[in-house]
Structure 1
Amino acid sequence: MQVSVVGALICTGILAVVVYMRWSMITALIASLAFGATSIGTITSLGGSSPLIFTVFDMLVILAALARRGIWRDIGAVFVRIGAAWIVCALMIYVCIGAVLFPRLFAGQTSAFVASRTGRGVYEAALAPVSANISQAGYFILGGLTFLAACLLLQRSGALADIRRGFFLWFSLHVLMGVLDLLGKVLGAGDILAPIRTANYAMLTQVTEAGFWRIAGAFSEASAFGAESLAGLAFSYVYWRKTGSKFALGLGAILFVLLLMSTSSTAYVGLAIVSVPVVFSIVKSLASGRLRSAEALLIALLPPLLLSAMAAGLFYPHFFDPVLQLFDTTVVNKLTSASGQERSYWNYKSLQSFFDTGGLGVGLGSSRASSWPIALLSQLGLFGTAMMAVLLAMLVRGLRGSRGRIDPEVDAIASSVRACALAALVAASLSSGSADPGIVFLIPLAVVLVSRRLPDDSAVGAPARTLQHSRDSREDVIQSQVGTVPGRV
């Protein structure tokens, strides 16, 4: 393995900050997700695979969980109390078997789309074992172990505060690098973040769309940046709505602006989709006469924005021409473009491979699609898709149905990370080529499932229990999970 100096330096910097601030390793893991194109090195034996720096922190989080006292008792408690742990383990086993067996079992019987390491992009070929079977399966196993580690670490004092801190740090870094990337291009300095993009990806960073610079941030392309901006916007909005945090409001506003300026079709369509429940909630509140302050603020902002847009269009008739051209290019005519037709073909052939393999799939990493649900079916088959659907249903359910009272701060953290994961899945459903939902899905799932266990299982007002049936009072348990943080982030 050839170690990336830049990747190692960034890892060292994140570790130094975490150690100095006395934060946990899971905070560092979540923050490292902001570096979406920074690898820790290149593994030549796997066809030049370049694992991203978050994999380093993944392993450190797993080691931190294993170093706990009474680890076997804690692991037993997780598997007894959280049924999703069994499903995740079953998925890991199935993915490993499928990645090794299915490409060989169905070799030559269907087609696959393989990413070239020699600059040919993605090309169609007969199904056969590829290095991505090993690398993608490794990512999936690492994600599954991180889920189990998160379930263990969330029993520790201050764990939820570390989760909250990690998400805010992640999206703050994301905003910083998005702004730097845009400023560098607008001011003529070029791609100033190119040195930190060390992954062995095709970098589509110096690109314009309808006269607008595409924002890539620390990612390889604008689509990935827009998808992460959408996830961050969902997280910030829900946390602001639950707590009234001014920092979350400001962060969300900047993410919204960056998302609009990203020129990403994935971000625009995803924003329209995630806005539906927001609009539905506001209409429901208006109908019931119980409008919340956050909803009232959103409604109050609409008239001045509309008036400003009308005034700009009246005094400057061609003011919105570039914006309309951008919308036409990225949304209206996206499917008829060469890129849209190519991705539609990927999805069509991926669905065909699902039927060609009798519903078993071609194995994780064997091919790629352009939609997460289609990638699930084509790579993991019907059985893997069914297990993933159960996990998704658990995440969608959230804290609904929990017995007893949920502390407001626990509710805010769990609900906001859940919204982040769901928004990320919306973006993945529009453009992702892999069946692996990643730790952006698995860590919020762990937070939601563990948070459901914080109240007592018997009656409201009875002492709350953690997974180990702590004798502490409800307030002590909630406080130990959320942590003592002066004020709100």
Structure 2
Amino acid sequence: MSFAPFAAIFIIAWLWVALRKLENGITFVIAVLPFGMFAAISVAGLSLLLAHFLAMLTMVALVVRWITTRTSGTSVLLPIDGRYLVFFAAYALFSALVLVRLFAGDFLVFPMNLNAGTTQVSIFFPSSVWLLRPSNANISQAFYILLSCGFFIAAISASKRFGRQIIELGLVIATSINIFLGILDFLAMDNLLAIIRTADYSLANQQQMAGIARVIGGFSEPASFATTSAALTAYFAMSALIGRKTRDVVLAVGNLICTVFAFSSTGTVALVCAFVLILLHGRGFLTNTLSRTFAHMLVILAATVVFAVCMILLLTPAPDLIADMVEHQILEKRNSMSGIERRAWAYSAFAAFWETWGLG
């Protein structure tokens, strides 16, 4: 077992805010989500990320308080939509603990540990397969399922009692940290970022796209950083359109830039899906409270963006970069090592679905 000394600072900070009000621990956990490769503890090759460790502490403290007090202020408030997540978590838990034993030895699967398999399926990527059987990964999956679902319930309950600012403050801090870490990685300050890259993950920070380094921020690879940045972009873009706050505009634009510079096809798809959802709800927040001043500002902003894009396309090598991105991320993605590996994973998943009669 190894412990990251720098993580002690965050644990002390969590104790300081949680002792003042336990719900502040939820805000703190959300704030440290951008540290996607910062492991607080590593045991037998498994890394417990700082956010997961602090979420576990928060959940334990909330459960202890709920058991010892049983007051009306500590009741669990779960929306109807949240029950779908609880059902999904229960089924995922059943799959990780029961189905893996029920169908053990019936078919081949890709283990999470790349070195654990017995048969390498291709010379193009390192993944190997073995007969389905229980492993430590099933225990860790069950733990993360319970932790994620429990933290969701706790966060929703806290926001209903004390207001959404408990979650929103954490998102504002997390978004700011995400942008800051993205800037550090763009500037290739790897020695400084090594402090928070303590997890036993493969670090993919040397990849480039058209000669430009792909940004990964506080994560281990571009896709994770891009999808996180895309989600934060969507939230604060919607918040900016509803609340008309300059802060939200800055945070949305900052994370949009982070998503773009990750040069990730997964992040690009996530960003497109996010903006489609925003457009689908656009009529509601643009017509109900749309003032003349805001409408003018929106038109001026759109014109400025179009003008800036035109100048970038005319005066910079951006067209070549975009063409290279489209070629590598879309047109040739299927034939890349990543594309071949993911296609093999997808075939394996469909095979597992068929072999388990649709259960797994």
Same fold (TM over 0.5): yes
Q: How does 1:225-304 map to 2 (within 5 A)?
A: 225-280=225-280, 297-304=297-304
Are 2:127 and 1:122 equivalent residues in the alignment? yes
Equivalent in 136, 142, 154 of residue 131 of structure 1: 136
CA distance in 1, matches of 2:21, 2:83: 35
- The corresponding residue for 1:460 is none
The DSSP-based 3-state class of the residue aligned with 1:124 is strand
Q: CA deviation at 1:287?
A: 10
The answer as to whether partners of 2:230 and 2:271 remain within 8 angstroms in 1 is yes
CA distance in 2, matches of 1:305, 1:52: 38
The DSSP-based 3-state class of the residue aligned with 1:205 is coil
Q: How does 1:49-448 map to 2 (within 5 A)?
A: 49-66=46-63, 67=65, 70-71=69-70, 78=76, 82-83=79-80, 90-116=87-113, 118=115, 121-156=126-161, 158-183=162-187, 185=188, 189-190=189-190, 192-280=192-280, 297-314=297-314, 318=317, 320-361=319-360
- The corresponding residue for 1:9 is 9
The 3 A distance-change label for structure 1 pair 324 and 86 is closer
Q: For 2:173, give the aligned amino acid.
A: L
Q: CA deviation at 1:57?
A: 2.0
**How high is the sequence identity, in percent, across the aligned residues?**
26
The DSSP-based 3-state class of the residue aligned with 2:133 is coil
CA distance in 1, matches of 2:160, 2:307: 51
CA distance in 1, matches of 2:151, 2:59: 6
CA distance in 2, matches of 1:296, 1:124: 59
The 3 A distance-change label for structure 1 pair 250 and 285 is closer
- Larger mean CA deviation between 110-119 and 99-108 belongs to 110-119
CA distance in 1, matches of 2:335, 2:291: 42
Residues 367-395 of structure 1 show CA distances to partners (whole Å, capped at 9, x for unaligned) of: xxxxxxxxxxxxxxxxxxxxxxxxxxxxx
CA distance in 1, matches of 2:285, 2:139: 50
Unaligned runs of 5+ in 1: 362-489
CA distance in 1, matches of 2:155, 2:315: 55
The 3 A distance-change label for structure 1 pair 171 and 14 is farther
Q: For 1:160, give the aligned amino acid.
A: R
The DSSP-based 3-state class of the residue aligned with 1:5 is coil
Measured on the aligned residues, the alpha-carbon RMSD in Å equals 3.3
The answer as to whether partners of 1:116 and 1:123 remain within 8 angstroms in 2 is no
Residues 261-285 of structure 1 show CA distances to partners (whole Å, capped at 9, x for unaligned) of: 1111112222222222344555899
Q: CA deviation at 1:334?
A: 1.7
Q: CA deviation at 1:160?
A: 2.2
CA distance in 2, matches of 1:99, 1:86: 20
The 3 A distance-change label for structure 1 pair 127 and 252 is same
The answer as to whether partners of 1:240 and 1:249 remain within 8 angstroms in 2 is yes
CA distance in 2, matches of 1:355, 1:285: 44
Residues 98-129 of structure 1 show CA distances to partners (whole Å, capped at 9, x for unaligned) of: 32222222122222111336599532222111
CA distance in 1, matches of 2:9, 2:54: 14
Alignment size in residue pairs: 350
Q: CA deviation at 1:19?
A: 6.7
Residues 166-207 of structure 1 show CA distances to partners (whole Å, capped at 9, x for unaligned) of: 110111111111111111x2xxx5453123111111111122
The DSSP-based 3-state class of the residue aligned with 2:192 is coil
CA distance in 2, matches of 1:313, 1:147: 43
Q: Which has the higher contact order (CA 8 A, sep 6+)?
A: 1
CA distance in 2, matches of 1:284, 1:146: 30
The answer as to whether partners of 1:7 and 1:198 remain within 8 angstroms in 2 is no
- TM-score for both structures, normalised by structure 1: 0.63
Q: CA deviation at 1:143?
A: 1.6
Unaligned runs of 5+ in 2: 117-124
Q: For 2:347, give the aligned amino acid.
A: Y
